Amino acid sequence: MSTEIDPKKIIAEVSGHDIDQWVRTASFTPEVEESIRGHIHQELTSWLFFRKLGADCARSSISLHGFARLWERSAEECLADFKWLEKYLLSRGGRSKPTSIEATTFEWPDNPIEPVGPCKEALFVEKKLLEDLERLCSKADKSGDVALTDAIQSRFMRKETRHAKSLADLLRQVVRASKQPGLGIYLLDRELRDSDGIVPWDCVNDPRQQDNDPAEV
Ligand SMILES: [Fe+2]
Ligand SMILES: [Fe+2]
């Protein structure tokens, strides 16, 4: 027995539909979607902040090129996270709604060159990203959106926790080096220059380094 299908009818039915709505699961509520966009906004604001820090450190008047590379890397990471989340949003049936990015007013003091204030600010920008991800995770949990919880935890949580700790360590090193103005900060900058801006102790802050079994957990 064959079932008659009217092609025109099914084409009309599907073409009139918002297919994004079929991609969306019930747990992916408008509130959850808005929260993802909120984090996207924060990644972009942080990107601009880190770009500015990097540009300040690369000025001849400051010339801390190791620090400049660290902030450029931090900015690149924010941009990569933004792109990733935007794609994720679309893959869940959401849509991108760009918002204006507030310009940062922060300046790296150059007379005298004072690194403690900017490094403290950088730590708090990184920590705010982490806190916003926690907020996003609890929103996802509340709405039962297991897919989002998994995406945030696997892509972001571990690395952002480590980054906040590594910047806190950097702040302590900068404070220590600043007790003897000039040479200390030069040596710290050279260390960062040698590692092309990767915080040398970043991998020590990775809990996976403590595993007896080297396999990925
Ligand atoms: Fe990020
Ligand atoms: Fe980070």
Domain regions of the chain by residue span: 26-196
Distance from the alpha carbon of residue 116 to the mean position of ligand 1, in angstroms: 22
Distance from the alpha carbon of residue 83 to the mean position of ligand 1, in angstroms: 10
Q: What is the CA radius of gyration of the chain?
A: 23
Distance from the alpha carbon of residue 81 to the mean position of ligand 1, in angstroms: 5
Question: Among positive and negative, which fits the CA dihedral 59, 61, 64, 70?
Answer: negative
Give the ligand with the smallest distance to the CA of 46.
1
| Predicted local distance difference test score (pLDDT) of residue 2 | 63
Its pTM stands at: 0.90
Of 1.10.10.10, 3.40.50.2000, 2.60.40.1760, 1.20.1260.10, the CATH number of 26-196 is 1.20.1260.10
Q: Is 43 annotated as a binding residue?
A: yes
Residues whose CB falls within 8 Å of the CB of residue 13, separated by 6 or more in sequence, listed in order: none
- Give CA–CA dist 206/157, Å, rounded: 12
DSSP string, 56-85: HHTSTTT--HHHHHHHHHHHHHHHHHHHHH
Give the ligand with the smallest distance to the CA of 161.
2
Residues of the chain with pLDDT under 50: none
Distance from the alpha carbon of residue 74 to the mean position of ligand 2, in angstroms: 6
Q: Which amino acid is at 46?
A: S
| Predicted local distance difference test score (pLDDT) of residue 192 | 96
- Give CA–CA dist 108/205, Å, rounded: 27
Give 30-56 pLDDT, tens digit per residue: 999 999 999 999 999 999 999 999 999
Q: Which amino acid is at 107?
A: E
Q: Is 126 annotated as a binding residue?
A: yes
Q: Which long-range contacts (CB under 8 A, 24 or more apart) does 180-189 make?
A: 181/112, 185/64, 185/113, 185/115, 188/66, 189/64, 189/65, 189/66, 189/67
Give the ligand with the smallest distance to the CA of 132.
1
Contact 178, 184 (CB under 8 A): yes
Distance from the alpha carbon of residue 9 to the mean position of ligand 2, in angstroms: 51
